[in-house]
Every structure is written in C-alpha cells, then in structure tokens.
A and B are shown apart, each in its own frame.
Chain A
Amino acid sequence: MATLNPPLAAPGSGVGRSVLRRLGESSALPILAVVAVLILVWYAGAVLLNWQTEGDRLVSAGAPYTGLDHVLATWSAKRPVLPAPHQIAVELWTSIATVRPTSPRSLLFHAWVTLSSTLVGFAIGTGLGILLAVGIVHSRVLDKSLMPWIIASQTVPILAVAPMVIVVLGNLQITGLLPKAVISTYLSFFPVTVGMLKGLRSPDVMHLDLMHTYSASRAQILGKLRLPAALPFLFASMKVAIAAALVGAIVAELPTGAVAGLGARLLAGSYYGQTAMIWAALVAASVMAGLLVWIVGRAEQIVLRRTGGRA
C-alpha cells in the first residue's frame, strides 16, 4: 500500500474509494448535500422569523418556558411567518390525502384546474409557435416584418395584461378555462417559435442541395428534411414553454376573484394569513412544473429514439 503506484488490477484495491468517488462524480451526492443544507437553513430561518411572534405568545400564555421550548414553538406555530418544512408536509398531506379529490378543499382539485388550462394553453401555444416558424422560414416578408415584433412581444410584461384579458374575455361571455389558456398560450408560443425557427434552419446547405437535386417540392423539403432536423430544437423549447405556460396559468387565476386553481390558493392563503397553505400551493406548483418538464423530456427521448436520433 505504501508503493507510489499500486498495481491497477490488484484484487480489491481501492474498492471502497471507487464507490465513494463514483458517488462524488455523479451528481446525486452533491444534490443531496445541497438539499440537506437548504432544509437546515430553512429550519434556522423558521426559528429566526417566528422567534418574535412565538415569544410574544409564550409570554402572554404566562407559563414558564425554556429556550428549547421557544425553539420548538417556532417550528409548530399556528400562524407562522415561515412554516417549517414538516408543517408544509403536514398541510400537503391533509389537503391531498384526507379530503376527496373532487372537493374544493383538496389541493389535487386546484392542481387539476391549473393543469388543465396549462395543458390547453401549451398545446395551442406550441401549435401556433410551429406554424409561425414554418411561415417565417418560407416567407422573407414574414421574416423581416414579423420576427422583430415577436421578439418585442416578449419584452412586454404580458402577465401585467392578464387581468385585462380575463375581464375582456369575461365580457364576451368567455369564462373558465379559455381565458387562462390564452395567457399560457402567449407565454409559451415564443420559445417554440424561436427554437423551431432555429431548428428549421438547421439542416446544412449540402442536405438542402441534395433535396433540390431530387427536385423536391417545398412541402417535401419541409416534411422530410426540415421538420425531422428541427425535432431536438422543438423539444428543448417545449421544456421552456411548458414551464412558462404553468406560470401563465397560475398568474391568470389571480385577478378572476380566484375561485379555483393553485393561483387562487395562493391568493386565498395571502388573504387569510395561512402561510402553510401558500407554501403547500407553491410546493404543488413546483412539483407539477418538475413533472411536466420531465414528461416532455421523456417524450423527447422516445421520439428521438424512434426517429433515429442520438438522444
């Protein structure tokens, strides 16, 4: 063992270390470490932020208490400024598992409302994005005149317009799912258009020339060369788009008086000072965002494998 260069193939040499090293080289261990630190910071933050209010409560209760009691109290406060992670977990559990999924008290019900408008908006946005990209690739006029406006459209904080869109469409007797989906559409079409445009222009000149020598029509070039080449770009931008669609759906639920949906849950929580409710809705939204992006990623793998890509 004291040699400088131990033989590489010596049986059993450095097994323990290699396992450790593999753990260190994959990102599982670092991620777990970071998450653990975050949770610790969270608990510490809960102590700090709830210290004042809980202290006041303990003092007014009159009974003697120790420092430990005080710390524990900050982690189990009725109306915490910052709820501890386990309180959020309890809130999630009670609002998911103990009530029927169809009742408006269930988080699943609200998540479903948000999810449905997200998906509708995402579908329309993706379709619109692809259509625009195809149009821009084929028309120089569209490229020159429309493209700058598509980019400019995203510097407009569209979410600010959300209340107006909701109210205006409400006046036209369009309520419920569609107005929220409109906001999601607006947010999700842009990444798809830009990504798809890049993808449709990605085939190199050699391949395009080859199609020309086959005397392929524009539609054939589109269907057999450009679209397949654009698939990886499409999926990459769809991941961005679906996250944006979710944000759109949540924000669109704020101004409607907030009847149902995760955004409504946020608003209700902030009205009634139910911080655990807000955080539970936030966790639900985050989990949903993660799942949606993951699903798009899976679809990407499957489709690219089917089309012979190297994914």
Chain B
Amino acid sequence: MTGPALSVRRRPWLSAAVAVGGAAVLLGWLGNGALGAAFWVLTLLVWLAAWRLAAQLAEMPLRARSAARIRDVAVPLLFGLTLLLLWELLTRGLAVPRILLPPPSEIAATFAASLPILWADFAQTFLKAVLAGYVLGCGAGFLVALLVDRSPFLKRGLLPIGNLVSALPVVGIAPVMVMWFGFDWPSKAAVVVVMTFFPMLVNTLAGLDAAGAMERDLMRTYAAGHGATLVKLRLPAALPFVFNALKINSTLALIGAIVAEFFGTPIVGMGFRISVEMGRMNTDMVWAEIWVAALAGSLSYGLLSVVERLSTFWHPSYRKR
C-alpha cells in the first residue's frame, strides 16, 4: 500500500546516527544554557531522523521470524524514546513551569528518591485492594456464570442486565462502599469486586455458548454428561472470552481502587498520594505515582497475555505466527 520500498530502504544507519548523535548533542546543549534557533532546528532534524528510521525499519523486508519480532519491539520503542526526548527537550528548552509538566529526568529522579513511599502505596493499593478484589470479583463472576448457564430462563434475564450494568458508571458506588467497609483497603477491594463481576459474568456466559453445535453433538454421541461437556469442550472454548474479561478487568480494577481512594483512605495508597501531592503542587511525585500505575497496569496486562497465549495456543488467532 505504501510507496516504493526502494526509497526508504536506503541507509537506515545514517538516520540512526543522526538521531542518536543529535540527541546526545541536544541533551548536552541543555546543560549549557543559551538556546538559539539552531537548537530547535537540530531538534526538528533529530525528530525527522527518528521518524525516517522508524519508517525504514517498518518497511524493511525481513524474512527471519526472529528479526521480524525484534523489529516489532524496536519500532514502538523508538517511538517511545523519541517522545521522551521531545518531552525532555521541550519542557527544559521552553522552561515550562514544573507544576504544569516536569521533564522526565526529574520524574525519574523523584521516582528513584522516593522508592519506599511508592512501594508502600503500591502494596496498599495494588497488593491488597486490587488483587483481593480482582480475584474475588472475577472468581464470583465466573462461578455465577457457570450456575446461571444451567438455567436458560435465568440466562435470558441476567444477560441483558449484565450488559447494561457493564455500561454503567459503576465507579460511582465507591462512596457507598467506603461508608460500608471503612477507610482501609477492604472498601476499595469491594469496589473492585463490583466493577469486575459483571464483565466476567457476561463474557463467560457468551463464551460458554461459543462451542459449535457440531462439537456439542459429538459430545452427546459420546454420552457425555453436563460436567464432562463443560470441562472438556465448553470451558476450553470459553477461555478466549474469559481472558478477554480478565484483561478488561485488570485495567478496571486498578481504576476502581485508585478512584475509591479519593473518597477516603488511611494515609497511604496510590490514589491518596496522587490527590495529596497534587494539592501540594508536587507534580513530579504525581507523575512518579502514575508511572507506578502504568507499570503495574502494563505488566499485569502482559502477564495475562502470556498466560492466555500458553493456555489458548490452539486458537486460530495465533496460528499465523
């Protein structure tokens, strides 16, 4: 679809050299004050070089599977690094007030300096509230789906309601839960339970219907009972749906726990830290906390993807790789 490959295949090393060298010069320049027009021209040049490098990498015809995989990681990484560099250059070059947007180097420094606090918040919010709520909510949703599945009447009644509730702003029950379960982590876990329950219920119910009629008939000819059909056919067929719910819920859970902390919390926790440090205008600390949240979110998502890959290796969507 894109233009002739010849034009971009030329000399990726040149753009790489310009990008890396230019970036080094620019970062050195920042320390020496006095930035002129040349600084911004060079910034633009580095940006273009990085863009060109990304294009060259993306267009590169790679036969070897491993090389293609490295490329698939390298291109977005390059994009991210460019973004970080531009962020650093713009905030420091234009002397953006620290309250508005601190440069990444400063956030990293804050991050490194306040590791104990960040870890305490992480333990309070993620290890206690999110994990407990996530396991309870997803487990309950899954089990209830298995039960409801036995009654078509209940299924027809619950499915539309479950779908509706999945679209509702469930985070809103946070103040109620804080009132019921107190300020500490159980109230946050309760919010997470309610938020994760319905997506799991709806997805599992949909997944249990995913097995084809042919396979079901086959199980019937084997005289397999409900239990055997469930374990050997329908649950494996439902796995992609279940993992979809697990992934959706991993983000929802973190959001639920953090937002619930805005309504009242002991003096530790990620949501608490964010609102307090924001009140003190310590934006770098807020950003450090956001990095923790982003890291936790991405890692749990990645972990789920790996587990999904291992347990649903038979699924057609993985075949082409």
Contacts and interface: CB of A to CB of B under 8 A. Distances in A.
A270 B263 contact: yes
Contact of B251 (A147, A155, A285): A155
B179 A275 contact: yes
Interface in B151-179: 153-161, 164, 167-169, 171-176, 178-179
Q: Majority SS of interface residues in chain A?
A: helix
A286 B100 contact: no
Given A156-B294, A171-B99, A247-B169, A140 B58 contact: yes
A279 B174 CA distance: 11
Contacts of A223: none
B131 to A, nearest CB: 15
**Interface of B, helix, strand, loop or mixed by DSSP:** helix
Report, as a range, how many residues of chain A touch the other chain. 35 or more
B59 interface: yes
A304 interface: no
Contact of B278 (A240, A255, A273): A255
Interface string A250-287: 11001100000011001101100101001101100110
Given A159-B259, A254-B262, A266-B175, A144 B72 contact: yes
Nearest to B276: A163
B169 A167 contact: no
A18 interface: no
Given A160-B274, A254-B259, A289-B169, A168 B101 contact: yes
18 contacts: A31-B157, A34-B157, A81-B179, A141-B51, A144-B58, A152-B298, A155-B298, A156-B293, A156-B298, A160-B289, A164-B278, A168-B100, A172-B100, A243-B169, A255-B278, A270-B178, A282-B173, A285-B168
Interface of A: 24, 27, 29-35, 49, 81, 138-141, 143-149, 152, 154-161, 163-164, 167-168, 171-172, 239-240, 243, 246-247, 250-251, 254-255, 262-263, 266-267, 269-270, 273, 275, 278-279, 281-282, 285-286, 289-290, 293
Interface of B: 1-2, 51, 54-55, 57-59, 71-72, 75-76, 78-80, 97, 99-101, 153-161, 164, 167-169, 171-176, 178-180, 250-251, 254-255, 258-259, 262-264, 270-271, 274-275, 278, 281, 283, 286-287, 289-290, 293-294, 297-298, 300-301
